[in-house]
Structure 1
Amino acid sequence: MGGSTFQRFYFREEEKERRQRRHSRNPPSSSMKAAMSKSSTNSTRSNRYCFCGMKIKRPTSWTDLNPGRRFEACDQNRNSQTRHHFFEWLDNETCPRGKEVLPGLLRRLRGMEEEIRARDEQLRLVEVEKKKLEEKVCVVIEGKKELEWSRQR
């Protein structure tokens, strides 16, 4: 399963506090701030665990609504219909202009990358053809030398 009892308890408490803040819009209590500060010094963010015991990962979203936005999530979160697993955005929401511009830029980038792959393949085929032609030229030159040598006799 993974994760100590303290870590699982801490993340349950942290999730409760997060839900409270969302609903009440009150800042966290000083005791909660102290607990959060103490916990963050005791363990690095990379060793965090979900309530289910799975390790929390830190991927980057590249969807049109959240381009380039980092988040932390349990691997089980994407497979779960109930969404009771850990999830937290690390970056602020992308500004409206960024949401408008970034998807188009990403599509252009992907198109350019695909074009590069196609040209690389085309270059490879041209190099193969060049090698075949060089071999034919060598055969023709050898044949010419043999003809010249046989005429000299």
Structure 2
Amino acid sequence: MSSNSNVSGFVECECRVPQTAQIWTSWMPDNPGRRFLACKNYKKGGCGFFSWYDPQMCARSKAIIPGLLRGRNQLESEVVKVKKENRKMKKENRKVKMLIVITWIL
């Protein structure tokens, strides 16, 4: 898995179209967060051009970063769940308030 930083490299890939090489970020376990140059059409197969932009990470970084990313993803998932529950509770709260108003009127 990788992401594109939308920053054009100063290198042309083998497609020979100016500014087709872009900087991407690897999120694979062996190279988490490590950037590389690849064809702009990398995700579609592209021309196969590839070159590391960043030096290799130390073993400790390779061990720690994936765990941090998993933790972050779990937290983001929990935030989505809490927001959904919050919307549900607000809706229920409005219903209860309406029932209270109705009982006071009657």
TM range (shorter): 0.7 to 0.9
In the other structure, the counterpart of 2:33 is: 68
Gaps of 5+ in 1: 1-44, 144-153
Gaps of 5+ in 2: 1-7
Q: Distance in 2 between matches of 1:73 and 1:48?
A: 9
In the other structure, the counterpart of 2:101 is: 138
Q: CA deviation at 1:76?
A: 3.8
TM-score (norm 2): 0.78
Secondary structure of 1:103 counterpart: helix
1:102 paired with 2:74, answer no
Q: CA deviation at 1:51?
A: 1.7
Q: Distance in 2 between matches of 1:108 and 1:128?
A: 30
In the other structure, the counterpart of 2:81 is: 118
Aligned pairs for 1:24-43 (under 5 A) are none
TM-score (norm 1): 0.56
Q: Distance in 1 between matches of 2:56 and 2:9?
A: 22
Amino acid at match of 2:72: L
In the other structure, the counterpart of 1:85 is: 48
CA RMSD of aligned residues (A): 2.0
Alignment CA distance shift 1:91-1:47 (3 Å): closer
Q: Distance in 1 between matches of 2:72 and 2:96?
A: 36
Secondary structure of 1:93 counterpart: coil
Q: Distance in 2 between matches of 1:140 and 1:48?
A: 73
Identical positions, percent: 31
Alignment CA distance shift 1:59-1:77 (3 Å): closer
Query: After TM superposition, where is structure 1 displaced by more than 3 Å over at least 4 residues in a row?
Result: 45-48, 75-80
Alignment CA distance shift 1:47-1:89 (3 Å): closer
1:59 paired with 2:30, answer no
Secondary structure of 1:67 counterpart: coil
Q: Distance in 1 between matches of 2:16 and 2:98?
A: 63
In terms of fraction of residues, the more strand-rich structure is: 2
Deviations 1:63-107 (A, max 9, x none): 111111111110344444xx8532111111111011111111111
